[in-house]
Amino acid sequence: MAGDKTVETTGLIGWIDRRFPLTSTYKAHLSEYYAPKNFNFWYFFGSLALIVLVLQIVTGIFLVMHYKPDAQFAFQSVEYIMREVPGGWFIRYMHSTGASMFFVVVYLHMVRALIYGSYRKPRELIWIFGVGIFLCLMGEAFFGYLLPWGQMSFWGAQVIVNLFSAIPFIGPELSIWIRGDYVVSDATLNRFFSFHVIAIPLVLLGLVAAHIVALHEVGSNNPDGVDIKKYKDKHGRPLDGIPFHPFYTVHDIMGLAGFLIIFMAIVFFGPEMGGYFLEFNNFIPADPLKTPPHIAPVWYFTPFYSMLRATTSEFTTVLTGLVGLGAILMFIRQQGIMKIISAGALIVVAVLLQVIDAKFWGVVAMGGAVVLLFFLPWLDHSPVKSIRYRPGWHKVLYGIFFANFLVLGYLGTQPPSAVFNLMSQIGTLIYLGFFFLMPIWSTLGTFKAVPDRVIFHAH
């Protein structure tokens, strides 16, 4: 019987089992791990993210064999990989395309968590580990961006590192410490290489392992947001669950096949993706004496880069007014000592918005837009998890949020202008307002009744 723990394995597997929990681990995480039977298209992206991570590690190992982390030879070594190493161009394009596809997959994975409430109790820790993975990916991508030592690599790193100088008191020294020099130089390249190849991948692998272990401890969410452990058969197996293997391994293989078709089409026919995956300026060696006309990060950073650029002195004045209004509402709505503390804190923030330079608040907006995600499980007060059972206008709100994020991403790729800057400022307010006002709007409206068991139609 599948659930019988008394059956002992024999032969080589039995020898291993008596020394290492091979069979029990396989059962706990695959053959006897019961997942909801109503998974849909959105549940491809978790396993795809793991596969792309493996792809990045493997291709990265082969690239490191020929890459030289030296400012004098870095660009030439990349060209050598592309032109002289057998299959080098293929490995390099798989790695560069994989970096962008990693973010595509992770963003879609996060969208699924948002719409189905996969961050809600008891899965808060899974979400926190996931956001930690997202932050590590951003760091990994940023450090790896400098390594080709092209024009956009050099100047992009210069712009981003210089942002830290806006931090009061410690900013200038911090930016020098990050660079290892007064300008982006060989020292910067070496330390970025170390972080990209050793430090961050180790943290990333640890977070991925913690993410999976936490997931398998509490079980997977589903599109209905129903706990499948509530109803079990006489063997203790969830009535609305099926073993992950073989059912979802086959399901994920189908998703992988579709993903690989798209992935390989990009690698072979459009690895630059019109300059979004690989910028054309990055095929020019880094020149500290020649600044590109428009410096922008890679597309997966551009929504947050838009928020950075949107935060001008005029914008902080608007924010000051909104924070002041929030302080007044807090004072009216809350009671006792809490209203004084909350309103006082907001007044302090309003004062700081006017005292400290707008450039610093741009850095805060850019970083805070990501850090806010950590608090999502405690910001959402909705009585239901899944968007299926929320009011219709909630779905519209989520649609506006996702569309706004895409618009911010596009604006971040464009040269600054008055119109685009205004659009970025509106987009930033929408993004921040979505989260800061979530404790209020997530409780409003008429919610549908959530079924006791998952809704599943065989197909």
Q: Where are the beta strands (DSSP E) in 25-136?
A: 34-36
Rounded CA-CA distance 347/327 in Å is 6
Q: Which helix (H) or strand (E) holds 92?
A: helix 88-116
216: annotated binding-site residue? yes
Rounded CA-CA distance 362/308 in Å is 4
Rounded CA-CA distance 313/326 in Å is 20
109: annotated binding-site residue? yes
Rounded CA-CA distance 125/110 in Å is 14
- Contact by Cβ (8 Å): 103, 141: yes
Rounded CA-CA distance 203/123 in Å is 21
* Phi, psi for residue 445 in degrees, rounded to 5: 100, 175
- Report which DSSP code applies to 120: S
Using alpha carbons, select from 69, 67, 63 the residue that is nearest to residue 88: 63
Rounded CA-CA distance 351/335 in Å is 24
Q: Where are the beta strands (DSSP E) in 177-335?
A: 241-243
Token readout for 252 is: 């994920």
Q: What is the DSSP string of 385-413?
A: SSGGGS-HHHHHHHHHHHHHHHHHHHHHH
Distance of CA 235 to the CA centre of its chain: 39
- Contact by Cβ (8 Å): 300, 141: yes
| Residues contributing to the annotated binding site for heme b | 95, 109, 196, 211
| Residues contributing to the annotated binding site | 95, 109, 196, 211, 216
| Residues contributing to the annotated binding site for a ubiquinone | 216
